[in-house]
Amino acid sequence: MADFLILGGGLTGCVLATRLKEENPSAHVTLLEAGPNEHENPVVLDPMGTFQMHNSRYEYNYATVPQKGYDGRQVYNAGGKQLSGSSAVNFAMWTRGSVSDYDLWAELAGDERWSYDGMLPYFRKTETHHDPKTADPEQHGFEGPILTTAGARIYPLTDTMHTAFLKGTGLPAITDANSGHPIGVAPYTENWHPKGYRQPAGRAYGLKGVEVVTNAQVHRIILDGNVAKGAELVDGRTFTARREVIVCCGAIRTPQVLLLSGIGPAEELARHGIKQLVDSPDVGLNFHDHIAMCQFFNIKNPDNLGLVAGSPLWNDPSYLLGIPADIVITDTAPPKELKAAMIADGEPNVTDSHPHLQTNRGHLELLPIYAPTEAPLTNLNIPFDGTCITVGQLNLLPTSRGSVTLESSDPSAAPLIDPNYFATEADRVVVRQAMRHTMRSFETPEGQTIIEGEITPEGATALTSTSSDAELDARIKKTAATWFHPAGSAAMGKVVDADLRVIGAEKLR
């Protein structure tokens, strides 16, 4: 019997298991993970292996229900199915939010522990920052398990790209996007190890003294009334816990496990013949994700200069030590347009002091990448041959809300995933601004030295910074997807309290 039984060996589960064991050396901590341990797999460790793991055995390979905001398309959703979860398959970007993001959490939760200042000690505890001489020691840590670097590689286009986005966006150059004030053009920060390999959470934290059980997919939490006693696996095995059961199954699987356990809204449970044990009407609601739009551009003179990954001349060994990216751009949405959009969406009490309208909110993020990243997700067939770059455009604070519900009571079946992408006018304002920032940047003199033209979907015309809202929206609906950052489906204040205890249950977080 475990003292602490953790369901889900992804990023959060691995960190939590390690820290619980450190703080409670005599406690028996058991970590259950649905997938295998791939920590020594070269595909997982290699930065370029990232591009091979979509639609593979390394992930769950989810698909959403048809999305009205994307013209009825179903959208691929990734989720790491292995020890360390999505930290073993992601791009390894190291991105901290704005001070205002966390302070709003604290205000809504009524608990200052969730504020930026409350979270900062844990941000620092996590990392070993790459530059202890010049980094702000109030903002960064230098003894944590995850090594983070920024500006570690200089690519052939680094200086030109940096200048193009400074001019095209009108934003300032900043040296640190992870200081709580990310607005500007900054060096891209990553948590690829400086020697060029991935740092999956379980590998980096070590899991010393933790009982790790892989290939152990959870079916349900075992409840005695409303008291958590353990968990049953899909294969029928059971594990029990003396002190607490802790669910760390991610934003897609967590609501599924809760619902299969009888924790959720009565109507949803009854539809699948599941007895309600804990009334929790908001399980699976408030689900949201980062809307991601990618634009692809052919570069000038690709054959002669080795400017982009895939070219035979792209051969500096340092280029293979991480994802081929060097800057990240963060900005707010235009406030007048955003305010009007929120009013049109029916948001109550939209004044200039509304949290979503503050000038320090990071509404959008741009990431130029020297490769045709995620082209298959947008139904484009672009060769990896050194001729194309990508600009990823993210809506960081979406207002569209969806749900995760059960398709059936079969724990092996994926749940119904409905992020409700691009459902609000506020989200449309943000993504349009991200696209226009990109195109204005490539319309600068510096951008024109790089870019030959946009690669468009079949039947579409190239966009410009003066394209109409309708033209931008049509492209988004046709090609936008996600960069796999789901959240909100077991919301604080609704499903869990500020200590992350499941409301209405005991010994369950």
pLDDT digits (tens, 9 = 90+) for 8-32: 999 999 999 999 999 999 999 999 9
Give the whole-number percent of the chain exceeding pLDDT 70.
100
pLDDT at 273 over 90: yes
List the binding residues for FAD.
Answer: 218
CATH code that applies to domain 93-191+291-395+423-479:
3.30.560.10
Predicted pLDDT of residue 135: 82
Describe the strand order of the beta sheet including 146-150 as a list of residue ranges: 127-129, 146-150, 189-190
Average pLDDT estimate for 238-245: 99
Residue 326 sits at φ, ψ, to 5 deg, of -140, -20
Predicted pLDDT of residue 436: 99
Average pLDDT estimate for 184-188: 96
Other Cβ atoms closer than 10 A to 398: 26
Average pLDDT estimate for 471-491: 96
> DSSP states of 418-471 as a string?
E--TT-SHHHHHHHHHHHHHHHHHHTSHHHHHHEEEEE--TTPPPP-TT--HHH
Tokens of 119: 């979270």
In 3D space, the residue among 171, 191, 455, 175 whose CA is nearest the CA of residue 308 turns out to be 455
| CA–CA distances in Å: residue 354 to residues 97, 122, 335, 343, 387 | 18, 28, 11, 11, 44
pLDDT at 311 over 80: yes
Q: Strand, helix or coil at 356?
A: helix
How far apart are alpha carbons 205 and 207 in whole angstroms? Answer: 6
Predicted confidence band at 205 (pLDDT cuts at 50, 70, 90)?
very high
Predicted pLDDT of residue 496: 98
In 3D space, the residue among 137, 50, 93 whose CA is nearest the CA of residue 327 turns out to be 93
pLDDT in tens, 52-65: 888 899 999 999 99
| Beta pairing, strands 291-299 & 146-150 | unpaired
Predicted confidence band at 301 (pLDDT cuts at 50, 70, 90)?
confident
**Residues written for the chain:** 509
How far apart are alpha carbons 74 and 377 in whole angstroms? Answer: 11
Q: Are 82 and 90 in contact (CB under 8 A)?
A: no
pLDDT at 304 over 80: no
pLDDT at 134 over 80: no
List the binding residues.
Answer: 218
CA atoms within 13 A on the CB side of 336: 0
Tokens of 361: 């909110």
Q: Strand, helix or coil at 320?
A: helix
Q: Are 244 and 508 in contact (CB under 8 A)?
A: yes
Q: Which of 57-66, 261-270, 324-333, 377-386 has the lowest average pLDDT?
A: 377-386
Q: Strand, helix or coil at 118?
A: helix
Q: Are 421 and 403 in contact (CB under 8 A)?
A: no
Predicted pLDDT of residue 349: 93
- Cα-to-chain-centroid distance, residue 55: 17
Predicted confidence band at 320 (pLDDT cuts at 50, 70, 90)?
confident
Average pLDDT estimate for 476-481: 95
How far apart are alpha carbons 179 and 173 in whole angstroms? Answer: 14
Computed on alpha carbons and rounded to an integer, the radius of gyration of the chain in Å comes to 23
How far apart are alpha carbons 295 and 480 in whole angstroms? Answer: 9
